[in-house]
Each structure stands twice: as structure tokens, then as C-alpha cells.
Structure 1
Amino acid sequence: MASAETAKDEQTFPCRICTRRFIKSSLDKHEQACKKLTKIQRKVFDSGKQRALNSDIPINDVRKVQKEREKMGGVFPRPQTNWRERHEEFIGAVSASKQVGNALKTGAPLPPPPKTASNADYIKCDFCGRSFNKNAAERHIEFCKEQNVRKAILSKQGRQKTSECKFLFKTYKQIMPFYLIKLIFSLYPTY
């Protein structure tokens, strides 16, 4: 114990190389060892080489892949996620469900449903009001636009032809097989 107490009392000095602190008697010895360690060039550890050692993949293939990756700009960055917003929505949904459960138990009026926050990256369809990511929106909006145009045309025609269709259906039902009637009336979807 006496040696530990004397070591605490002695003044420490920083190493000029690694800035660790030592007492004067061991500082000189440490600096010599520290100089030797800094002169040694350590090899960079190649994890691909180690993985290829005990597998059926040759090391040359691993190196080719590494070179190709470097040509393409290294490791690709991960896309930014809005995990915090999704987490907040989740916490809000859990608390809302607890409130509903408590309201049902106590007989109190139900709280209003929580508002779902739409993703800022999504594009809203003008025709149906649904939201899609960029790629899906490009496909969907065109489709939805065509569908709305068709519905508008058919609804105008449908009002006029509904009475005609009903009359024709009753008439043809008596003289034609059902599959032909279906074929004919597939041209007039509203009857």
C-alpha cells in the first residue's frame, strides 16, 4: 500500500508522442517504446481476404468486387428515413387506442380518431384523393384520369340507355341463350 500512495503523490508528465501521462522514472522508457510503435507500418486488415479463406469464393473475385465498388463511388449512402416521424405516429396511435379502451370501459364518449399524417414524399392523386410514391403516382394518376373520363362518358350514356337496356334484356332473355345476352350487354355495363 505504501508504494501505491507514493505513486499517487508523484507528479506525472505527458508523453510527447501519445500524450498519455507517466511518472518521470517510467516516462523515458515509455517514449522509446512509443517511438518504435509509431514507426511500424501496420497492414490494413482485409476482411474480404479473411472471408474468402474458408469459403468457396476465390480472393480474386472479392477484390474485383471491391474495385468495382470503388469505381462507382464507394459505399452507397442509405436513403434518409423519417423514422422519428413514424415513431411519433406510432406512439400517438398507441395512446389513442388506450384512450378508446378507457372510454369503452368507463362509458365515456369516444375520442375523435387520430389524424393520420400523410408522407411528405407522397404525391396526391387529384381524381381519387389517394397518395402514392413518385413511381406509383406516375402510373396511377394516368390510369385514374382515364377511368374518370370513362365513368363520366358512361354515366351520361347510361342514363339514356338504361331504359333501352332493360327492355332489350327482357326481350332477348326469351329468345337467346344466356351467354349471348351476357356478351351483348357487356357493351352496356350499366343496366
Structure 2
Amino acid sequence: MTKTTQARLSHIALTGRVLGTWLSLSPDGAENRPLFAAMAAPGWIDEWPYGEHRELQAIAALVAAGLAQGVGESPAEAYQRLFIGPYALPAPPWGSVYLDKENVLFGESTLNLRRWLRENGITMQQSGNEPEDHIGMLLLLSAWLAEQHQDESLDILLAQHLFPWCFRFLELLEIHAGHSLYLGVAKLARLTLDAWKTSCTAEPPAPDLYF
């Protein structure tokens, strides 16, 4: 393995873990509390492998402001509104909502992902009946594949099952975040996944998006 490949996998493992955890779990959960506490201080931008310093400074300011917010919607309430409901989600975090004409969960794209996971002997850790194509779960799986040095499987996962729809999701999350914390998360995820895409050796398809 070349130093370039090793560095790429290390960067994806780090950033995928952070972003996947943020987008999978409420900020008041046990796994997220120490992570958000660390990101409340601006020093983390020196460790983030992607993005210009000025851009990361602006994102860090959004994250810190969201975590320090004392009035209005709390970070946990924002997470509930954006990712759980009960009302319609402005940026649904599941791939099949974007790739299926009927905007359904467990659509054909989810089944294709499930088939690919089975064929490659990969088991995802799911919460309840959560579809496998949840953005947070795919980021965590990407991090795991990077940690296992499975770069070929990683590139297929990214190109075939994440990149075709994730940028539309992040666009909607940025528009509808309504909270500086998740606006910062959306911006950080976008610049990070842009960098992932640049380094990906597999060519992602350009399917029609329906959401």
C-alpha cells in the first residue's frame, strides 16, 4: 500500500466516523456527547484533513454557536425535527427516497445495497429496522472499510451507493437545517465528501433524483 493510499484511508476513517456518528445519533446521546464537546472548541480544524482553513473556521464557528445556544431549539430538538419527525423530514437521510420514483424506504436501491453487502460478507450494525442506506450508517461503514484497508470495496460503496444521492441530501440539509449546528455539519460533510469523491477510483453513475 502506498503512502498516498494509506493517508487517504486514514482520512476517510477519521472523518467518516465523526460525520457518521453526528448524522446517526442525537447530540445528547452517550456516544455523541464527548464528540460534540470536542468539536465545541476550534482546535479540531487543525486535525481535519479536508477544506481550506478559512472555510473550516466558519464551520467551526457555526458548530460552536449551535452547541452554545441557550434559547430556542436545542441541538437534540433540531436532530429530532431533521432526522426523526413526527413531521415530514425536509432532508430524508435514506438513499432510496431520492433514487426511487415513489420516494419510498427500502426501495430498489436499498435492495441493491443489501445484495452487495451480502455478496461481500459485510454485516452492518443497524438500529431496529433502519434501512441500510441511511447516510450516517453509510458513512460509518465507509470508515470501517477504510480501517480494514478494503479500498476497492470502499470505492464501490461510495460510487454506487452513496455519491449518487448524498450531495442532494446535503444540499437540502443545508437549506433546511434551521439550526447553526446542523448547518455546520451539512457544510462540513459536503466539503469532506467532495474530497472523498475526488479521490475515488470508481466512476459513480448519474441517476435521476426524485426528491
Q: TM-score, normalised by structure 2?
A: 0.16
RCO higher in structure (CA 8 A, sep ≥6): 2
Q: TM-score, normalised by structure 1?
A: 0.17
